[in-house]
Amino acid sequence: MKMKKITANSMQEATIQIRQQLGKDAVILNSKTVVKRKLFGLKKQQMVEVIAVLDQDFEERAGKGLNPAPPLPVLPKKEQVQKLPEEPSFAPKAAKPAPSHPQPLEYVRNERHAGILPDPLIAIDQKLKDQGLDDAIRDECLKGLLTKGAVKENHIKKELEQLLTDMLPAKTSDEPMISSKYIVLFGSTGAGKTTTIAKLAAKTAIQQQKKIAFITTDTYRIAAIEQLKTYAELLNAPLEVCYSREDFVKAQETFKEYDHIFIDTAGRNFKEEAYIKELTDIIPFDESIQSFLVMSATSKYQDMKAMVKRFEHVPINQFIFTKVDETDTMGTIFQIIADSQIKLGFLTNGQNVPEDILEGSPLELTRMVLQS
């Protein structure tokens, strides 16, 4: 994708310059009249400012004798995108420059820095940046919007929503959020695992009328065991405390007639290798276990990235992000899901059990990012 901003005395002159610099397949994205000052600002002159774009991939395919892709689409309104008219007969034929081969996204990045993107795209780029999305995702969005000819505000929202949603791992509509007999939550201290597991268990027991039980391996905090015991009593569900793999196997046998067993784990510093070892020593992470990595939505992206890296030897089926009501920036969540391609399971937005938990979806997360 190659873009140029041309300022000329007339539209005809701008057309000639665009053809000379970009070729006959260029498309005009935007044009407007501007006033330029000359003679030390004493004289004003009306001029035409035009932004035009050329699909670099189209030139390369045509040069190799392959079937070229069509040029960028023309939007319905003439003032939005205009196909260049035939070159005037008096204009000299410009020799077509030898095509260079930079990556298309590099063009977008250079054009952003040069400040020649249409104003609506500049605003979108800044919004995505403020949300915490990195250059790669923002470049892909800008390239997609330009390719689709979406440079006006009324066209951008729908196209951008689809572009962002497509970057996230998809979820089938008939896939249940709780799909295994054993559900384990793990993560760092303070993320809200115990409250979250109570929300999941309550919804499963009350709304789906499933027979549930609890296991906890959090033997480091007495308060955590007491908290989970309180939830278990309210739901009329049994609880087993496991200190070792043998205890866990016994608990599995005890609860073999139950539909779902929710497993709470100790909140520890994820940087400690011993925590990961203790987790896998007690819990056999096999196909019967559905595992959720729980992280706070208020965490920094680099901390989330480090946590995912630390748990790379533990199967992470889905994410749960807590405390989404405590942040105005959802882009960090989007970024870590897009980078890791691990599905979004749930979002929690308060302390109320079981109300404050939402099922996550790529589309809903995208909308939260764009509405923030």
| Per-residue confidence (pLDDT) for residue 96, from 0 to 100 | 38
Say which amino acid occupies 311: F
What are 18's two structure tokens? 């665009």
pLDDT band at 83 (very low <50, low <70, confident <90, very high): very low
Report the distance separating Cα 136 and Cα 351, nearest Å: 35
pLDDT band at 115 (very low <50, low <70, confident <90, very high): low
- 33 vs 269, higher pLDDT: 33
Strand partners, 47: 34
pLDDT band at 320 (very low <50, low <70, confident <90, very high): very high
What are 137's two structure tokens? 């995702």
Q: Please say if the pLDDT value at position 139 is more than 70.
A: yes
Give the global pTM. Answer: 0.72
Q: Please say if the pLDDT value at position 137 is more than 60.
A: yes
Strand partners, 262: 183, 214
pLDDT band at 42 (very low <50, low <70, confident <90, very high): low
Q: What is the mean pLDDT of residues 230-259?
A: 94
Report the distance separating Cα 83 and Cα 15, nearest Å: 10
Question: Is the separation of the CB atoms in 102 and 110 below 8 Å?
Answer: no
Q: Please say if the pLDDT value at position 69 is more than 50.
A: no
**CA 209 to centroid of chain Cα atoms:** 34
CA angle 185, 188, 192 (to 5 degrees): 60
Per-chain mean pLDDT for the chain = 80
Question: Is the separation of the CB atoms in 189 and 269 below 8 Å?
Answer: yes
Report the distance separating Cα 293 and Cα 279, nearest Å: 12
* Sign of the alpha-carbon dihedral angle for 55, 76, 138, 50: positive
Residue 233's SS3 state is: helix
What tens digit of pLDDT does each residue of 189-200 get? 888 899 999 999
Q: Which residues contact 230 (CB under 8 A, 6 or more apart)?
A: none
pLDDT band at 56 (very low <50, low <70, confident <90, very high): low
Treating both helix axes as pointing N-terminal to C-terminal, what angle do 104-114 and 135-147 enclose, rounded to 10 degrees? Answer: 100
CA angle 59, 121, 48 (to 5 degrees): 75
Q: What is the mean pLDDT of residues 100-114?
A: 48
Q: Please say if the pLDDT value at position 309 is more than 60.
A: yes
* 268 torsion bin: left (phi>0), alpha (psi -120 to 50), beta (else): beta
Q: What is the mean pLDDT of residues 6-11?
A: 82
Q: Please say if the pLDDT value at position 220 is more than 80.
A: no
| Per-residue confidence (pLDDT) for residue 75, from 0 to 100 | 38
Q: Tell which residue, 264, 188, 254, has the closest CA to residue 223.
A: 264
Report the distance separating Cα 210 and Cα 323, nearest Å: 27
In the chain, what percentage of residues exceed pLDDT 70? 79
Report the distance separating Cα 320 and Cα 358, nearest Å: 10
Q: Which residues contact 168 (CB under 8 A, 6 or more apart)?
A: 334, 337, 338, 344, 362, 365, 366
pLDDT band at 318 (very low <50, low <70, confident <90, very high): very high
Q: Tell which residue, 103, 98, 99, 113, has the closest CA to residue 143.
A: 103
pLDDT band at 271 (very low <50, low <70, confident <90, very high): confident
For 5, 57, 139, 164, the CA distances from 53, given in Å and listed in that order, are: 9, 12, 15, 23
Which domains occur in the chain, in start order?
Answer: 1-101 (no CATH), 102-167 (no CATH), 182-371 (3.40.50.300)
